[in-house]
A and B are shown apart, each in its own frame.
Chain A
C-alpha cells in the first residue's frame, strides 16, 4: 500500500508517538485495521467528551447576534462589538443563522439585535435561528444572561414582534435578562445608543466578578446504563423533523428526517445505516381483509403466538412485497394458468416482472382465491425492518441525532393507489412520533482513516445520503483531503437534494468538486456515469493519487453503469486492457478504496 500517507504527517501526533503507532500496526491484516479504525474513532469521541483532549481555545466571553434585512441591526451589532472589544472583552459577532447553534447551551452572555420584517416576520438571516429557539430542540439556557434590542417600525401592527419573541423565548428557556427588552422605532439610535452603553456597563459588572460566578463546564455524561439496542431490541427514537426536500413541482417525494437517539447508546459512524421497524398502513390491511372476506378480529395462532388477524397483517407480515413461495401457494389455490406459467423456469422474466410490479393486493385483485386466516399468516413472509443510510455525521449532534433521507415509494397501478410499506410508514410519522430503530453498521463503507486522502463520492438520488454524513464528518474532523461528489437526479429545480448544503460546503471548501447530472432537464439523458466519463483524466488522477471511491444508491442500473464507467476510465487513462482495468478496480476494492453500498 505504497500510497498510504505517512503517519508522521498526521496533525497532533508527535514523532515518537507516530513511530510507536507504526510499529504496533505493522503487519495487521485488513480487517484488523478496519476494526481498529472504528475503535479509534470511538476513542476520539470519548476523548472529546471526557475533556482529556487538549483544551479548545477559550470561548469568547460574549456573543453578539443580529438578524437584519436592510442592515440596521447589522451595523448596530458591529458597532457594539467594536466598543466591547475596545474595552478588552473577547466578543464574537454572527448573523443569527450563521451562529453555531450547538454552542447556545453553553453561552454565558448573549446580546441580540434583531429587526421585524414583513408582517411580523423575522429577517431572512435569522429565520433558522428562530425556528431553532422555538423548536423542540431548543436547549435549556440556565447559565445564560442576555439582552435583546428589537428594531421595528411602529407604523406596523406587529411592532418589534420578532425581538419580543426572542426576548420572551430566551427567558422561557431559562435565560436571565441582563436588561429589559429594548424596542427601537425607525429613529433607532434614540434607543440603541443608550442600550449599548448599558450593555457595556452591565457586561463589565458581570464579567468583573470572581471566576466562581461563571458556571463550571458540565461534567462528562455518566456512562450509559441503557440496555444495548439491537435489531430485536430497538430503540424508540423521537422524530424531530420530517421535511420534504423535493420541490413542489417534483412528483418525487423525498424526505429529510431527523430522529433523536439521545440516551439510546446508539453509536454510529458515517457509512452506517439505520434499521427501522415498520407497520402496514390501515387502508392496505383493510383492502386485503375485504378482498379475502376475512374477519380482522379473528384470533390467529402461529408458531406459539396468538393475536387478531388485523394485527398480524399490520404488524407482522409483508403485504407490499410478494414472494415466489407465496405466489406458488396462491396459484395452487386459484388455479390461474398465467400464474402457474410465470412460475415455470423458462418464464423467469415474467416472474420477476410480476414480483416487481404486483403487491399482494394486486395479486388478489387479478386472481382472487380463498385463504383461511391461519394459512395466510403461515404463507406470508414476516415483516422485515427497512434500512436507510444515515445522512448525518454523529459529530454534529454529539451523536444524539440520526438523519435519514427517505424516498417515498408511492404510485398508481391500474388506478389503485399503492405504496412502499417502509417509506410510507416512516414518512407518515408526525413530529414527536417514535420510530423503532437499531443500527446497521457498515464497516466497509468508511471514510479513509487518513484524513489527507481524497474521496470521490458517487451518489445519485437518495444515494447521496451517506455522503452528506461524509462531508459533514470530514469538515468536523478537519480532514484535509479533497472531496468530490457526483450527484444526479431527474430535475435540477426540484430534485437537487440538499442543494443549499452543497453550495455552502463548496463555499467553505468542505466539498471541492461537485458534478451534476440531471437526466430529464436537457434533450439528452445524462447520468452520473456520463459526468464521470467527462472528467476521466481528473478522476483517474485523483484515484492514482490515493483517492477512495464510494458508490451509493440504485443497485440495478446505476451501480453497474458506474462500474463500467470506471473500467473504461481505467482503460483510457491508464492505457489498460479491459482485463487490466478490471484488475485495477479489483485491487482498489481489495484496498478498501472502491466500496459500494447499493440497494
Chain B
C-alpha cells in the first residue's frame, strides 16, 4: 500500500512523529528503560511508546509534592489497559484480572468507559509479568492506547437476543484486523524471538502510525449506550430482527478539547451512508487511511479525524473515502435512539438465558471498608459459567446466566453489596465519572473520588424538587478530555482546577446533542446553588416527559446546542 505520509521529512511536525518514526516499530529503548534501576520511570520517549503496548506511566499525585520535599522522585507506577473488544470477558479472564491486580496492582479493577479493564499502580519491574498474566488469560493489551485504533466498543444489552453476538463479532473482527502488525509487543513482553525491525512492515499504519488515537463504536438502536457519535468512526447496526442487515456509518466524532484553546471543540460524528456488514472492514481501513494521510501531524491537539473533516468538509471526506473504497455508500437507513442507559437488573434474553446488569460506581471494583466488591465479583466469577460484559457506562452485565444459577448469583450479589442497581435511583445509576486524581496525570480537578459526595448532594437537590425519579444524565470529568463523555451529559461537569468545574447543560439523553457551557469555573457552593435553581424551574415548567437537557434548551436557559 502506498503511504504518502510515511516519509522521513519531519520538519514542522509534532515531536511525537519523530519519536514514532525512530522507534523501530514501537520498540524504542523500552527494555533499557525497564532495566534502569535508578528510576521507577521510563526514559522520556519510552514513557510514550509503552502506551502502544497498553500501559501508561503515571505517578501518585497525592504524593508528588510530599516526595519532592523528600528528595524522592514521584512515585511512578503504571496503569495497564486491557483490550477486550465489545467488553466481553469470560469468568476465567475475570479471575485472571482479579489476581493480577491483587498481585501487582492497586488491588482494584477499573471498568472503563470503553468497556475494558484498567489495573493501576503496577511498578516498572512488574510490568512484564503483568502483561504476561493478561496474555495467559487470552486477553492482551495491544493498542489500547497510542496513535492507532483503540478498543472497539459495542452495545452491551440489545433488546433482541442474538443481536449482541452479531455486534460483538464485528467489534472483535475490527479490533483484531486493525491491530498494529509489529512484533514488538511479543518481543518486549512475551519473550518472543526478536525480529529485525528493518524487515517489519505496517501495511495500514505505516512507520509513523496515525496522527492521533482512533476510536470505533458499534451501536444497536434504540439504545445508544456506547454514545456512538463521539467516536471517530461509528457503526449503527441495522437489524431485521436477529439478522444484521448492515451499518449506517458515522465519521468524525470526538469530545476532548484543550483548555484555553478555542480552536479545539467537541464534535459529534456525521452519518454518511449505509453499508453491508461485510464492507465494514474495508470502510474502517479506508477511513483510517484517509485520516492517516490527511490528518494534522503538526499539532496534536488538532490531529483527530474530527479536525480533518472540519478542515476539508464532510463532502470532500466522503468523496475521498468512496474513491479509495471503489464503491459508494448507499443512503442512510432510518434508525432511532431512545436512550443511552444500561438495562439494570435481571433481563431475560429470551433464549433461556438471563442477564444481570450490576451498577458499579464509576466502574470501580474494590474492597473498601464499606463493601467488598472485588471479593464479591471473584466469588461470582468462580461459579458463573456464562460471560461478563463490561458496558460503556462503566457497569457490568453478568450475561448468559442459566436459570439454575440465578439464585446462587443473586445470593452473592446481595451478600457483597453488589445490589446497587436495586438500591439506587436512576439518576445515580446513569451517572458517569472519569478516573482523574490521583492516578491521571492530566486531571485538573477531582472526579471519581469526589463523585460519591457530589452524587449525594445533587440527589438531595433532586429530592427537594420532587425530581428524584427523573432520568437525567449526569457526568463529571476531571479535565476537558471528557473521558466520561461529560460533553454529552445533560449535566456535564468539566474540571478546571481543584474544586472548580465548568457547568455544562443542554445535551439530550440520546447521545445526539452536545452540551454547552452554562457557568464557567465554579466551586461546589455556586454549582449546587445553580442546580437548585435549575431544578426548581425544571420541576415547575417542564412538559410531560420532557428531559432536563431538552428543557434547558427549550426554555432558553442555554442557547440551543448542536
Contact = CB atoms under 8 A, between A and B. Distances in A.
Contacts of A156: 496-497, 500, 521
Nearest to A246: B70
Interface stretch (A52-60, A228-236, A501-509): A501-509
Contact of B520 (A155, A245, A492): A155
A532 to B, nearest CB: 15
A503 B39 contact: yes
Interface string B40-81: 100000000000000000000001011111111101000000
Contact of B40 (A245, A256, A493): A493
Given A153-B260, A247-B67, A496 B72 contact: yes
A500 interface: yes
A550 to B, nearest CB: 20
A247 B72 CA distance: 8
Contacts of A516: 37-38
B499 interface: yes
A114 B260 CA distance: 17
Contacts of B38: 499, 502-503, 506, 514, 516
Interface string A148-164: 00000101100000000
Contact of B72 (A118, A153, A245): A245
A248 B63 CA distance: 8
A9 B510 CA distance: 80
Contacts of B68: 127, 500
B319 interface: no
A202 B283 CA distance: 63
Interface string B536-561: 00000000000000000000000000
B500 A243 contact: no
A503 B74 CA distance: 12
A245 B75 contact: no
A186 B39 CA distance: 36
A70 to B, nearest CB: 9
B63 A119 contact: no
A340 B108 CA distance: 57
A501 B71 contact: yes
A243 B66 CA distance: 10
B120 to A, nearest CB: 15
B336 to A, nearest CB: 39
A514 B70 CA distance: 20
Contacts of A248: 63, 66
Contact of B70 (A119, A127, A186, A247): A247
Contacts of B534: none
B498 interface: yes
Nearest to B523: A157
A519 to B, nearest CB: 13
A118 B498 CA distance: 6
A186 B71 contact: no
B72 A494 contact: yes
A39 interface: no
B40 A492 contact: yes
A500 B497 contact: no
Interface string A211-244: 0000000000000000000000000000000011
B260 A500 contact: no
Contact of A499 (B72, B123, B520): B72
Nearest to A502: B38
Given A119-B497, A155-B520, A248-B63, A493 B75 contact: yes
Nearest to A116: B497
A210 B496 CA distance: 50
A498 interface: yes
Interface string B384-426: 0000000000000000000000000000000000000000000
B497 A503 contact: no
B73 A500 contact: yes
A492 B75 CA distance: 10
Interface in B455-500: 496-500
A499 B73 contact: yes
A283 to B, nearest CB: 27
B260 A186 contact: yes
Contacts of A492: 37, 40
Interface in A477-504: 492-494, 496-503
Contacts of B521: 155-156
Contacts of A502: 38
Contacts of A500: 68, 71-73
Nearest to B444: A118
B497 A247 contact: no
Nearest to A153: B260
Interface in A85-124: 118-119
Given A506-B38, A516-B37, A118 B70 contact: no
Of residues B40, B67, B499, which shows the largest number of chain A Cβ atoms within 10 Å of its Cβ? Answer: B67
A190 B71 CA distance: 39
A245 B68 CA distance: 9
B26 to A, nearest CB: 26
Contacts of A514: 38
Contacts of A127: 65, 68
Contacts of B73: 499-500, 503
Interface of B: 37-40, 63, 65-73, 75, 123, 260, 496-500, 520-521
Interface of A: 118-119, 127, 153, 155-156, 186, 243-248, 256, 492-494, 496-503, 506, 514, 516
16 contacts: A118-B498, A119-B497, A119-B499, A156-B497, A156-B500, A156-B521, A243-B70, A243-B71, A247-B67, A247-B72, A248-B66, A493-B75, A497-B71, A499-B72, A500-B71, A503-B73
